[in-house]
């Protein structure tokens, strides 16, 4: 029997990159996957790919996680479709990088709403069923930027650092109900988001990484799979940095 057999996982931002890798890894461990993305085409593409590998393993949902009411409706639909929710991975996130002196209030709000409020919205959609079941895994994807700060990312760093505080507080609220809440903080990972970096920026980033390379989406997916599984039942309120040693 696979570790996540008969469990249902929601993965936000699952239409590409790290989120897609997480969805694939959880499906390989036996979970049914609710694939969430703002883009219907991206979520449908990933769900189709999963279903081609493992029949009936995924359904696609298009939603903006920053929209509270829309997320609640999607949460209700997922529970209606699958009958339960065991795992929530809050991976959806955006960047609007700029120096603070040039950053617009709109770009500040966009990033905080997607990255931090989005996690709140998604947790609100599933926390009551998890409490009722006295079981659940919530895994929030933060960033090395939330641990040490990166120039040009005050909005992103604030959202990702906020996610850590959010997770620690939530873990204390729900631990007695058998629900764990943990954080994975990736460093520089080879995704669409980092593919646009110039060679100069890439070299500068690698110079800060003791392992001297960017990570792969699968590095994050493997950690999330562990935290979602039975071997991590006594781990909660923790932050696991997967950054090649960058933040140590």
Q: Which of 183, 203, 185, 181 is nearest to 194 (CA)?
A: 203
Longest dimension (CA), the chain: 55
Rounded CA separation 62/84 (Å): 19
C-alpha to C-alpha distance for 221 and 181, rounded to whole angstroms: 16
Strand-pairing partners, residue 59, are 34
DSSP state of 117: I
Give the residue among 206, 171, 174, 167 at the shortest CA–CA distance from 190. Answer: 206
Q: Count the neighbouring beta carbons within 10 Å of the beta carbon of residue 87.
A: 26
Q: What are phi and psi of 195, to 5 degrees?
A: -65, -20
Tell which residue, 216, 212, 211, has the closest CA to residue 194: 216
- Coil, strand, or helix at residue 142? coil
Q: Quick check: 139 and 227 in contact, CB under 8 A?
A: yes
Q: Which residues are catalytic?
A: 156
User: What is the rounded CA–CA span in Å between residue 242 and residue 248?
Assistant: 10
Residues in the chain: 248
Q: Are 142 and 119 in contact (CB under 8 A)?
A: no
Tokens read off for 6: 């008969």
């Amino acid at each position: 029997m696979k570790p996540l057999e008969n469990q249902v996982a929601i993965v936000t931002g699952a239409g590409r990159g790290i989120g897609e890798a997480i969805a694939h890894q959880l499906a390989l461990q036996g979970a049914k996957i609710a694939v969430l993305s703002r883009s219907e085409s991206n979520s449908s593409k990933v769900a189709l790919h999963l279903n081609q590998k493992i029949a009936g393993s995924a359904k696609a949902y298009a939603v903006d996680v920053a929209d509270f009411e829309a997320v609640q409706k999607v949460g209700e639909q997922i529970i209606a479709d699958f009958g339960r929710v065991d795992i929530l991975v809050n991976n959806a996130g955006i960047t609007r990088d700029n120096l603070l002196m040039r950053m617009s209030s709109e770009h500040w709000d966009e990033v905080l709403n997607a990255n931090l409020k989005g996690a709140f919205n998604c947790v609100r959609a599933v926390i009551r069923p998890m409490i009722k079941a006295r079981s659940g895994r919530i895994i929030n994807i933060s960033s090395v930027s939330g641990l040490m700060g990166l120039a040009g990312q005050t909005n992103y760093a604030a959202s990702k650092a906020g996610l850590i505080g959010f997770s620690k507080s939530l873990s204390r609220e729900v631990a007695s109900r058998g629900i764990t809440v943990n954080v994975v903080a990736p460093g520089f990972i080879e995704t669409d988001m980092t593919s646009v970096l110039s060679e100069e920026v890439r070299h500068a980033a690698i110079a800060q990484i003791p392992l001297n390379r960017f990570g792969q989406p699968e590095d994050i997916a493997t950690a999330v799979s562990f935290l979602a599984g039975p071997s991590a039942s006594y781990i909660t309120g923790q932050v696991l940095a997967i950054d090649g040693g960058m933040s140590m």
